Each structure stands twice: as C-alpha cells, then as structure tokens.
Amino acid sequence: MLDVLGPLRSASSSIFEPVGGAWEAVTSYDDLEARNALLRAKIAELQSSVLEVGEIERERKALLSLLGARDRAAQVGRRTARVIDAPISNYQRTLELDKGSRDGIE
C-alpha cells in the first residue's frame, strides 16, 4: 500500500512544498523587518560609540601632551627680569630686559 501512495505523496509534496515555503516567508517577513530595525539601531549605537572613543582618545593625547609640557616647564629654571625698554609702536615685537645670557637666560 505504501508503494502505491508513494508517487502520490511525492507529487503532492512537490506541489505544496513551495506554497508552504512561500507562506513561511510571508509570515516571517514582519519578524525579519523588526530584527533588521533592531540591528540598524545597534549599528548606529556602535558607530556613535566608535566616534566617542576616537574623541576620548584625542582628548587623552592632548592632556598627556599638556602634562608633558608642564613637566618640562618644571625642569626649566626661572629668572625674574624687568623690562627696561619696550617699543612705542605695535610694529616692533622686542623687549629689552635687565637680565641676559650671563644670568642664564637663553
């Protein structure tokens, strides 16, 4: 009996299988759309995080640079000098001090 119904099952299977697959695709479309929306939101969140990390890294480097400048400034000796001559106009940018190279100023 099974041998007699085998071709019938095979024929009905080949007819209804594509219909079932199409129905499954139609019913799962909304789920896929919702999942895609969630994934797009996650991608946007991660891209924002990447940009934020880049900004934090730039800020960290700038702060480290400032710390290095502060450390170098602490190593430089300080001298107090008075300005004894300054230009009258805005076109000159030189000052004359009462201290010089003999006093350790370079």
Strand partners, 96: 85
Name the band, by pLDDT with cuts 50, 70 and 90, for residue 23.
low
pLDDT of residue 42: 94
Going from N- to C-terminal start, the domains of the chain cover 2-77
pLDDT at 2 over 70: no
pLDDT digits (tens, 9 = 90+) for 6-15: 665 666 666 6
Asked if 96 and 85 touch (Cβ cutoff 8 Å), the reply is yes
Say how far apart CA 12 and CA 6 lie, in whole Å: 10
- In Å, how far are 20, 29, 54, 68, 69 from 63, measured between CA atoms? 63, 51, 14, 9, 10
Asked if 97 and 105 touch (Cβ cutoff 8 Å), the reply is yes
pLDDT digits (tens, 9 = 90+) for 84-98: 888 887 788 888 888
Say how far apart CA 103 and CA 106 lie, in whole Å: 9
- The residue ranges of DSSP E strands in 1-106, in sequence order, are 83-85, 96-97
More confident site: 23 or 88: 88
